[in-house]
Amino acid sequence: MYVISQVWQTLGWGSILYLAALTNIDDTLYEAAKMDGANRWQQMLHVTLPGILPTIITMLVLNVGSVLGVGFEKVLLLQNPLVYSTGDVVSTYLYRVGILSSNFSYATAIGIFEAIIGLVLVLGSNRISAKITKTSLW
């Protein structure tokens, strides 16, 4: 249920971003590929994907930092004490420990650790994308 709702939530924004990236691809590239005998699959593989690769890499780098933050609200609304062992995530654990149990220092330490992991993931994925595809955020 969570995965389906997350896909539904992000589908519109992702479509807008990738359609905008597709409009930046020059039509003459498709015409040249067609003149060279490329079919639709080959046009997608050799013209479309390289054209939107910077957008794909940028979205990957931006989203890799939020791997641990899976959406507090949806998980909390779908959760009850019977499913804590299988449905608990870092955000809801922080809420239970920090707010409900009033253990603010422990919850803060976990939150900072989660933020540091996200920062390391973003910096690492940006460095890897800069080396491999020559596309990076900075």
- In the chain, what are the domain boundaries? 1-55, 65-138
Buried b (16+ CB within 10 A) or exposed e, 107-116: beebeeebee
Max CA distance (Å), the chain? 68
CA angle 110, 57, 2 (to 5 degrees): 50
Q: In degrees rounded to 5, what are phi and psi of residue 69?
A: -90, 90
pLDDT tens string for the chain (138 positions)? 778 888 888 899 999 999 999 999 999 999 999 999 999 999 999 999 999 999 999 999 988 988 877 777 888 888 888 887 787 888 888 888 898 888 999 999 988 998 999 999 999 999 999 998 888 888
DSSP state of 46: I
Q: What pLDDT, on the 0 to 100 scale, is given for residue 75?
A: 81
Q: What pLDDT, on the 0 to 100 scale, is given for residue 74?
A: 80
Q: What pLDDT, on the 0 to 100 scale, is given for residue 67?
A: 81
Q: What pLDDT, on the 0 to 100 scale, is given for residue 137?
A: 83
Which pTM value belongs to this model? Answer: 0.76
Rounded Cα–Cα distance for residues 124 and 79 (Å): 33
DSSP state of 103: -
Residue type, 22: L
Q: What pLDDT, on the 0 to 100 scale, is given for residue 10?
A: 87
- Of 67, 46, 57, 45, the closest CA to residue 21 belongs to 57
Q: What pLDDT, on the 0 to 100 scale, is given for residue 82?
A: 84
Q: What pLDDT, on the 0 to 100 scale, is given for residue 65?
A: 82
- Of 89, 64, 85, the closest CA to residue 75 belongs to 89
Q: What pLDDT, on the 0 to 100 scale, is given for residue 112?
A: 92
